[in-house]
Structure 1
Amino acid sequence: MTTEAATPALLKDLLGPPALETIADAGAAASPHFDRPAFVCAASDGLEELSIMERVRHIADALHIALSGDYAAALDILRAMAPRLTHAFQAIAVTEYVARYGLDDFDGSMDALADLTRFGSAEFAIRPFLAADTPRALAIMTRWTAHENEHVRRLASEGARPRLPWASRVPALKADPTLAAPILEALKADPSLYVRKSVANHLNDIAKDRPDWLLSRLAGWQQDDPQTAWIVRHALRTLIKKGDPGALALIGVGHGAAATVRHFGISPTTVRLGDRVALAAELVSDAAETQRLVVDYRVHYARAGGKSAPKVFKLKTFDLAAGDTVRLSISQTIRDFSTRRHHPGRHEVELIVNGQTMATAAFDLSSN
């Protein structure tokens, strides 16, 4: 008996017809004034051709048709609907209604987003409010950093990220990505990993535009708190991959290492798309005392026309005692992603230790 491989699910299908029925049922259960047939009709019309974020906006517009013309009353219905939803993206579509129709009630809308974000992040919906009045929105979000709910605290950081993926850009944050610094300061030792990840990602956004500001700010953070130390390490990941000496120093790593690479190899050296390649390295300490090592590897992906595109991958961070030897290995499958397409040709690979290239190897990707 043979079986066919299942077709991969599309992200946009999270907001397909079953999701529309769930949202419609939630609206009808929340209020007799919710026009269920009108919502289903409007939300279903043209849905198939839309991407996931286009569906979010399309569903928000359908909610506008189904809800009362009174905005405050509509917010009450949305709040009652949210607990009945079954997936975060359904709630994101509900928050988008606030983004598209709530700017004239700034404070009421911000309060609603703080409520709704518990069911599906309002990080996208808050962007129009930040763009419309950045100081006012940031002041409200700064107060959220003391909220008892981790989802609201995360929204304070995530919603104000300068480079938030999939989100609209906020001109003021693009001009000065450090405007939300008070929010980050307030959350730098947050007990929730969910919040700390957002703070670290927010700081990593800043690193891409204002690395000097970031290094100066993080240098003043006391890393004896493990929560803060975690944020610092993850916030610096882009700069660490670049071998930035200041970033390495902040995590207790010197620029360069007192070590010798005895072996660095790749096998097999010729692969096809879909094959796995394995990297192996052996390092021996030349230091008289224990040293911390950050080991990465950089793959120079072949591109058309003989060009290449480098990408750095994390390998391991560890302490190496004086005179000790460590063997490292990792493997990865050579396959295409929506963000990276592979081309036949030679792929150079560098072994990077504490920001310095210490060995090179290569593999060839065959076209057949």
Structure 2
Amino acid sequence: MTDDMASPALLKDILGRQALTVIADAGAAASPRFDRAAFLDAASTGLDALSIMERVRHIADALRVALPADYAEAVTIVRAMAPRLTHGFQAVAVTEFVARHGLGDVGLSMEALADLTRFGTAEFAIRPFLARDAAWTLAMMLAWSGHEDEHVRRLASEGSRPRLPWAGRVPALKVDPTLATPILEALKRDPSAYVRKSVANHLNDIAKDRPDWLVDRLATWPTDDARTVWIIRHALRTLIKQGDPRALALIGVGHGAAVEVSGFSVVPRTVRLGDAITIAADVRSTAAEAQRLVVDYRLHYARAGGKSAAKVFKLRTFDLGPGETVALAIRQTIKDFSTRRHHPGTHDVELIVNGQTMARAAFELLAG
């Protein structure tokens, strides 16, 4: 879930009344024991006021009203519904039925989640099982890391992330975010980029709580395998943005660089919400040998009361030969997201080369 997601209103519409009809039709087609009218009545009541994840849970509870009381029979119908759905979030809502009503039969529920994740990720639905018995559930997920289906293998990594976006924190993973290490080790050479991306995101979660552990662990991973090299680079992205010397060293980058920066600018200097800025600079090598450079920029967002909040953005990673100069430029639109609201005021911008600030500029965001 990133800043580039749609607005909250659009996200809510994914599980709007049209989606309820699709789910109701899927239930009716899956079994004559599915009460279509009862589902629509329960799911529609109070829907408009709910956020996207609140709707996921609301729909799951509405399914309880429409399905047989026997959980085994109900989950069989739920599994038959999933292939008939038309959007991944519909499947997430249906899968949530297992999370909310299947804790009493964990064996059957695990089997269902491994099946349902193929249609809409079960990464949220697995969290209550982890919260209830982390050791048992992680052991099951470790077994999934050898599954033939990439969606199930990804669930093993994604569902056990310590800081999974939009999901509740699992107490055991909050205490020790490294508990799923055997799963990550099993998946570090996975043939699926879909799975490897999840492994990298999982490791990046760990970096926020155990940076030294992460660097120590990744230092033992093979660097002659393109799959593990990709994961290492993406898993270290938070530490690289922070200029961590050990993280930079793991990707073959020194801390700091022998360069001169000229012409660093942010234009226009004055903007309104919705306008775009261009950040540009020339970087010249002063070294006698080629250097690998990681160039980022840190934008200090103005906040109410004269405060600011910084966010680091990737700009470019490249090799620069002795005496060479490269022109860098990036364009960014200043607009609100569901996770960020802009405030009028001065926004400072830093250019960061190999973890060190090399130049500064600023722009002014006007009100209105």
TM superposition score category, shorter chain reference: over 0.9
SS at match of 1:10: helix
In structure 2, distance between residues paired with 1:127 and 1:269 = 46
Shift of 1:305: 2.2
Match of 1:293 in 2: 293
Give the drift of 1:8: 9.1
Q: Would you say 1:340 and 2:340 are equivalent positions?
A: yes
The TM-score normalised by the length of structure 1 is 0.96
| Greater relative contact order (Cα < 8 A, sep 6+) | 2
Where does the alignment leave 5 or more consecutive residues of structure 1 unmatched? 1-6
Distance of 1:306 and 1:53 partners within structure 2: 33
The answer for the alignment partner of 1:31 in structure 2 is 31
Counterpart-to-counterpart distance in 1, 2:339 and 2:181: 31
User: Is 2:240 aligned against 1:216?
Assistant: no
The one-character-per-residue Cα deviations of 1:268-324 (angstroms, maximum 9, x if unpaired) are 212222221111110111111111000001111222222221111110000111111
Provide the secondary structure at the position in 1 that maps to 2:188. coil
Higher deviation after alignment, 267-276 or 47-56 = 267-276
Change (3 A) 1:213 1:159: same
Q: Which residue of 1 aligns with 2:92?
A: 92
- The 5 A counterparts of 1:166-181 are 166-181=166-181
In the aligned structure 1, how far is the partner of 2:273 from the partner of 2:49? 31
Residue 116 of structure 2 corresponds to residue 116 of structure 1: yes
Separation of aligned partners in 2, 1:331 and 1:153: 37
Q: For the residues of structure 1 that align with 2:39 and 2:273, how far apart are their CA atoms?
A: 46
Write the mapping of 1:44-123 to structure 2, written as runs, cut at 5 A. Answer: 44-123=44-123
1:125 positional shift: 0.5
What stretches of structure 2 of length at least 5 have no aligned partner?
1-6
1:168 Cα offset (Å) = 1.5
The one-letter code sitting in structure 2 at the alignment partner of 1:44 is: S
The count of corresponding residues between Structure 1 and Structure 2 is 362
Quick one: structure 1 residues 287 and 362, their matched pair in 2 at CA, closer, same or farther if it must change by over 3 Å?
Answer: same
Would the aligned equivalents of 2:284 and 2:326 in 1 still touch at CA under 8 Å? yes
2:247 equivalent in structure 1: 247
**Cα offset for 1:184?**
0.4
2:4 corresponds to: none
Q: TM-score, normalised by structure 2?
A: 0.96
Inter-partner Cα distance in structure 2 for 1:8 and 1:145: 33
1:321 aligned partner = 321
Structure 2 Cα separation of the partners of residues 271 and 41 of structure 1: 48
In 2, Cα distance between the equivalents of 1:108 and 1:279? 54
Query: Percent identity of the aligned residues?
Result: 74
CA contact (8 A) 2:22 2:85 kept: yes
Of stretches 305-314 and 86-95 in structure 1, the one that deviates more from structure 2 is 305-314
| In structure 2, distance between residues paired with 1:261 and 1:337 | 32
In 2, the alpha carbon distance for the partners of 1:133 and 1:343 equals: 44
User: What displacement does 1:58 show?
Assistant: 1.1
RMSD: 1.3
